[in-house]
Amino acid sequence: MPPRLCLHGNLILPDAVLDDAYVVALNGRIAAIGQERPSWDGPVIETGDGYISPGFVDIHVHGGAGSDYMDGMAQAVRTANRAHLRHGTTTIFPTTTTGSPEQLDRMIRACMDVRDHWSLADGARIGGIHFYGPYFAEDKVGCHSVKGRRDPVPEEYRRFFSLRAVPRRR
């Protein structure tokens, strides 16, 4: 995130749209908003007729741009996260699906690696992991592969839950 940023355009607020607004962000936090041009010595990013909005949070996503989080590789995580950031998702919760314990382990560790070493070039930030599969009812697997579907195994999921779950603050 750039240490200083100024945006100009139509700002989406919780209850209205503030036309012709300026948003000033310092060190990743909104410092000021208003319709009067701020005293600013840096560039102003103009949105034209576009909108300035909060980033989206996706709590259930399996991948993107041809990459699947279950690939279990940091590069696949980055590829998917970059694709989502390009479309406005700033925080993402990679979602598990059916797979072996080894596949789940690789996926979770790849996501943790990207989360722990995150930079803006990595795309959307990882807010956590949505532990969704492999524990589906036999008749509720839906579009997910039946191979790797199983009933919950407490020893297995407790091991995953015991991995460091809170990202380090920089």
**DSSP character for 85?**
H
- What pLDDT shows up at residue 2? 65
**Per-residue pLDDT at 100 exceeds 50:** yes
Residue 48 has pLDDT above 50, yes or no: yes
The SS3 call for residue 33 is strand
The length of the chain is 170
Q: Are 139 and 151 in contact (CB under 8 A)?
A: no
117/163: higher pLDDT: 117
Mean pLDDT, the chain, rounded, equals 92
**Residues 16-24: what's their mean pLDDT?**
96
pLDDT tens-digit series, residues 84-98: 999 999 999 999 999
The whole-number average pLDDT for the span 140-152 is: 92
What is the pLDDT at residue 146? 92
